[in-house]
Amino acid sequence: MRKVLLIDDTPEIAELLTFSLRDLGYEIFAEGYTSAVNELAIENHAEAVILDCTSYEMSEALFDAIRQHPDHGQLPVVIVSDTPEEAEKSLRSRKARKVLLVPKPFTASQVGRALAQLLEPS
């Protein structure tokens, strides 16, 4: 089972995503918005991270924290965003790699497909 850290500031969505992604074969560790994303990734041996925060700026700050960590420069990240154009532009300016954007509204299967794509062997 692939281990995934889910950061979502809406508990109901986190719960639904957790159940749905577990059905797809992922072991999910869900947390609310927190700046301790790197510590949680290490603690849970996360192979990928999903960021779904109310504003893209929150996800962006966590994405930057992940990428700046010496062990997480290539950690796959799925960002769920209600402002996909803004997020896409921001990720392009960062030359972000190993990241996929899922626009809201979304389904758990879309997030699952994004995870599968990012976790495929290169």
The Cα 65–Cα 81 span in angstroms is 18
**Contact 48/116 with Cβ under 8 angstroms?**
no
> Over 70: is that where the pLDDT of 122 sits?
no
Model pLDDT, residue 63: 94
Model pLDDT, residue 44: 96
> Over 80: is that where the pLDDT of 108 sits?
yes
Q: Which fold has domain 2-119?
A: Rossmann fold (3.40.50)
Tokens 């930057």 correspond to 64
Residues forming beta bridges with residue 51, ordered by sequence position? 7, 79
Name the pLDDT band for 121 (thresholds 50, 70, 90).
Answer: confident
Helix orientation angle between 84-93 and 56-68, rounded to the nearest 10 degrees: 30
Report residue 62: phi and psi, to 5°: -70, -40
Model pLDDT, residue 119: 96
Model pLDDT, residue 81: 92
Tens-digit pLDDT profile for residues 12-29: 999 999 999 999 999 999
Q: What is the DSSP string of 22-69?
A: HHTTEEEEEE-S-S-HHHHHHHTT-SEEEEE-SSHHHHHHHHHHHHHS
Tens-digit pLDDT profile for residues 35-85: 999 999 999 999 999 999 888 888 899 999 999 999 999 999 999 999 999
pTM, two decimals, is 0.94
Name the pLDDT band for 118 (thresholds 50, 70, 90).
Answer: very high
